[in-house]
Structure formats: structure tokens, C-alpha cells
């Protein structure tokens, strides 16, 4: 990770400075080493400013001083990664969540009508004859009931034929049209499929009505799957791949 690398540079660069002397302000860069030294410092500062805004400058300078003298170390060199890695992993997760929340907010503002259309469709569809609704909100209809075995778990690999459309009836993906079944593990597809296929026996054909939260949520997948799309699939479970 860039931040960890930049902090590692601090430890390496510390050996270039003398901490036994008071820091003096340099007015001009007279030699090549002066310029390189200043450039290294600016590079570190820039990386820290954008990747670790919480940095405590006093503690940082003390660490450089301690590292140069190899005395009064508050953390052993061998323990630095154990401190840095979990902290920056947590920061990365927080940044990803913030970014996802921002994207979801922007998508909601732009595609709010699309989300409502899906909710309205599912509210009406659940009352139609033959439509069943699971606790998660997945709706399905049995078109043909098979007699074979069911997938044992979300890691089970299956062979299926499917035909997917959006609420407008536009086809966005179809193994039937391609004339070639698909194989995949159930945990490699959208949650609506993972749940729905575990209800099926080999030889079954179901129709799934998948809410956006069990599909791609705020993400767009091609021109026909806009953010917050409710998806409709006809799925035939051909076999369980051993």
C-alpha cells in the first residue's frame, strides 16, 4: 500500500539526517544533495498529507530522531508492520465504504425512479398466482419441478440455462440465446441467484424476480441493467457439477 511504503521511506530516509543537531532552516539549496534531500522530504510530506492526514508531526520527528540514534525506541523495528498494516487496512475499508456510499447517493439521485419502479413491480407481483416470496424478498415461480438433487451449499458448482430481462422486457443476458449452458459456483453470482438456485432440484425451471438489493444495487452492468434494477430470470438447473 502506498501509505505503508511512504512511511517505510521515512525510516530509510532518517539515516540521511543528523538528529544530534538542532534543525536549522535552509534558505537555499546549494548542492545536488541539498536538492535531493529536500525533494525526498517534499515527496514524503505529500504522501503523508494525502494518505495519512492524522499524522502527528512531533511524534513523527521523534521517531526519525530515535531511529537515527537507535535509542529510546518506543516500537521495535520488527513490530512496525504489525502496527501499520491493520491501521491502514482499516483506513482503506473506511475509504471504500465512503466511496460506495457516495456512489449510492449519486445513483439514488439519478435513478430513484428506477428503484421505485422495481419496488412497485414487486409489490404487485407478489400477489400473483404461483409467486412465492422468501424472507430476503426474492420472488420466484415454479415453471417446472425437477426430481434430481439440490445444491448442497453456496459453494456448489452448477450447470444452468438462463434468460435474463429487465422490467422493460429487454434481454441483457441469455445462455439460451447463445445456445451454451453456463457453469459456476453459487457464491460467484448475485445473491438472488445464490439463494434461488438452492431452492431448485436438478431438472427444475424457475422464474426469479430479483430485487435490486439482491442483484447489483447501485452499480450499473451494461446498458440494460441500470442502478437499482429489479431483474427477471428464467433459470433451468441442468446439473450439479461434481
Active site residue 111: no
Taken in order 21, 27, 33, 38, is the CA torsion positive or negative? Answer: positive
172 given a catalytic annotation: yes
Q: In b/e form, how buried is each residue of 1-31, taking b as 16+ CB within 10 angstroms?
A: eebbebbeebeebbeeeeeeeeeeeeeeeee
Known catalytic residue at 190? yes
pLDDT in tens, 78-130: 898 998 889 889 988 988 888 888 877 887 777 778 889 999 999 999 999 99
pTM for the structure as a whole: 0.62
Question: What is the pLDDT at residue 72?
Answer: 86
Which one is catalytic: 172, 184, 239, 240? 172
What pLDDT shows up at residue 23?
59
Active site residue 206: no
CB burial of residue 55 (10 Å; 0-12, 13-18, 19+):
middle
pLDDT for the residue numbered 88: 85
- pLDDT for res 187: 94
Tell me the pLDDT tens digit for each residue of 41-68.
Answer: 788 888 888 778 788 888 888 887 888 7
- The one-character DSSP state at 21 is S
Q: Is 225 a catalytic residue?
A: no
Q: 236 - beta bridge partners? A: 161, 205
Amino acid at each position: 500500500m502506498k501509505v505503508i511504503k511512504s512511511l517505510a521511506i521515512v525510516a530509510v530516509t532518517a539515516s540521511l539526517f543528523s538528529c544530534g543537531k538542532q534543525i536549522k532552516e535552509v534558505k537555499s539549496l546549494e548542492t545536488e544533495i541539498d536538492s535531493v534531500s529536500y525533494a525526498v522530504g517534499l515527496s514524503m510530506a505529500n504522501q503523508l498529507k494525502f494518505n495519512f492526514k492524522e499524522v502527528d508531526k512531533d511524534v513523527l520527528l521523534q521517531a526519525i530522531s530515535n531511529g537515527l540514534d537507535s535509542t529510546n525506541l518506543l516500537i521495535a523495528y520488527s513490530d512496525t508492520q504489525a502496527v501499520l498494516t491493520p491501521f491502514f487496512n482499516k483506513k482503506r475499508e473506511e475509504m471504500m465504504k465512503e466511496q460506495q456510499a457516495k456512489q449510492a447517493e449519486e445513483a439514488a439521485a439519478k435513478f430513484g425512479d428506477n428503484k421505485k419502479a422495481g419496488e412497485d413491480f414487486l409489490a404487485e407481483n407478489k400477489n400473483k398466482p404461483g409467486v412465492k416470496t422468501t424472507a430476503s424478498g426474492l420472488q420466484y415461480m415454479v415453471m417446472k419441478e425437477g426430481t434430481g438433487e439440490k445444491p448442497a451449499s453456496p459453494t456448489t458448482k452448477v450447470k444452468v440455462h438462463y434468460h435474463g430481462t429487465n422490467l422493460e422486457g429487454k434481454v441483457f443476458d441469455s445462455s439460451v440465446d447463445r445456445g451454451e449452458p453456463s457453469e459456476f459456483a453459487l457464491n460467484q453470482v448475485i445473491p438472488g441467484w445464490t439463494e434461488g438456485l438452492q431452492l431448485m432440484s436438478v431438472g427444475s425451471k424457475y422464474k426469479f424476480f430479483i430485487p435490486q438489493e439482491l442483484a447489483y444495487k447501485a452499480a450499473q452492468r451494461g446498458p440494460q441493467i441500470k442502478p437499482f434494477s429489479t431483474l427477471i430470470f428464467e433459470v433451468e438447473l441442468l446439473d450439479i457439477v461434481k
